[in-house]
């Protein structure tokens, strides 16, 4: 299991705490420090939809210019923005055996998928 995110993100902290409390010990991938590939972002967009992978509620998205925001119309344009602004990726993303299974943190979804 790998959990992708940023260590100081409150949602990531909640997810990591929940996982630890349930006995999981996932690897942690900090995409601010370790980066993220276009291929990985495309996989997540296929799994969840680009609209969900792109966090439009966050500060990073809100700081983008209207032109940048309006340029995002599909997976390819979302991936380009996310490569340049990794903080706009909804987090965390949890993968099991290389397959993305969860995005964000919703305890009920975690219980359903991981138990």
Q: Where in the sequence numbering do the catalytic residues fall?
A: 9
Q: Cβ(5)–Cβ(93) under 8 Å?
A: yes
Tokens of 37: 């590939």
- Cα separation, 68 vs 80, in Å, equals 10
């Amino acid at each position: 299991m790998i959990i992708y995110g940023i260590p100081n993100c409150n949602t990531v902290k909640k997810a990591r705490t929940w996982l630890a409390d349930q006995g999981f010990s996932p690897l942690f991938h900090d995409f601010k420090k370790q980066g993220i590939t276009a291929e990985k972002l495309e996989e997540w967009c296929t799994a969840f939809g680009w609209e969900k992978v792109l966090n439009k509620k966050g500060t990073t998205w809100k700081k983008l210019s209207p032109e940048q925001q309006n340029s995002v119309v599909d997976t390819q344009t979302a991936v380009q923005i996310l490569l340049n602004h990794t903080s706009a990726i909804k987090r965390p993303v949890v993968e099991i055996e290389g397959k993305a299974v969860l995005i964000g943190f919703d305890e009920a979804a975690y219980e359903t998928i991981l138990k």
